[in-house]
Amino acid sequence: MTSLERIFNNVATAADITINGTNPWDIQVHNKGLYSRLLHTGSLGFGEAYMDNWWDCSRIDEMMFHIIRAKLPEKLKTMGWNATKLFLNKLNFIEAIFINRQNKKRAKLVGEKHYDIGNKLYAAMLDKRMVYTCGYWKKATNLDDSQEAKLKLVCEKLNLQPGQKILDIGCGWGSFAKYAAEYYGVSVVGITISKEQAELAKKNCKDLPIEIRLEDYRQLNEKFDHIVSLGMFEHVGYKNYALYFKVAQCCLKNDGLFLMHTIGSNISINKGEPWIDKYIFQNGHLPSLKQIAKACEDVFVIEDMHNFGADYDKTLMAWHKNFVRNWPELKANYDERFYRMWTYYLLSCAGTFRARDIQLWQLVLSKQGVDGGYQRVS
């Protein structure tokens, strides 16, 4: 065993992970170059090494849970990462400070590289309504029911009334728009930057008072009774938070409510996790409550904040189960490396939510405060 192997073995042991061990969360190393790769490229290299079949783990979700709970990333940073890694970190920091990675031109990348990779993939992975955000599992026992419960929760938090006009920023495949129109009698304008989503959303919402637009939120300039944004704020970028809320404020009627549903970080950061940024959500960024609150100053009153981040663990595990079950029908369009990439994405994120390292927040915002106070619906 080399000294580098010994160091990483000792670090892994601190998280109750044994290299080539027998626990389902233990890592099985196929290529000993993994240790050097980790030292040089950190979490990016770790995910890429899995895609390259350099290591395996039967329960990646549990492995990630152990890694995060033991704070292994912090321990690795104290091991004396070499100059190459430090230089890359410095470049990433400089880029985050001086470049708006979510400007209008760059914002389209996540639509093209993530949401446009095939509607059949998402239809096979998601619930029957194709909701690509966290389900609400308070009383639900399966994915379909959890997403129905989440959509109902959103509508009731906004107190939707027949005849109202709702804006859905980041409408996906039209799941919220269709649900709200069918059950609450509202009309909806949904916007997305994904061509594939817009095309299918229009089909899904046919014959309902719903308009689906291929449009960036920065182009909006009209009034709505209420606004919804489910799982889109993660793509806005901290440099654009103030503008995002200002646009929402301008589009919301004075007595309206804005419900924002977003994944959030426990700490304030300026750039996303490297592997997720490169392979899954290009130019993504998880906000902290501090960053959200600062951007809302003098723009919105925060009426309510609801955290059900633990429910994303269950949602992601359900998505992964569907993905694996339907892989035989999907693999004609995707290769084995994609299968490993998608598996790593879903399971590593599940473990991260399980460790409560990231959260899921629903915030209800008003322009000037609800008279008598907002009444929470749960």
Q: Is 41 in a helix, a strand, or coil?
A: helix
For residue 46, give Cα distances in angstroms to 25, 36, 88, 254, 340. 15, 10, 16, 49, 13
- The token pair at 29 is 């190393």
Number of neighbouring beta carbons within 10 Å of residue 124: 16
Buried b (16+ CB within 10 A) or exposed e, 165-182: bbbbbbbbbbbbbbbbbe
Smallest Cα–Cα separation from 28: which of 49, 54, 10, 8?
Answer: 54
What residues act catalytically? Answer: 349
Distance of CA 51 to the CA centre of its chain: 21
Residue entry with tokens 């389902």: 24
Q: Is 139 in a helix, a strand, or coil?
A: coil
Buried b (16+ CB within 10 A) or exposed e, 243-271: ebbebbbebbeeebbbbbbbbbbeeeeeb
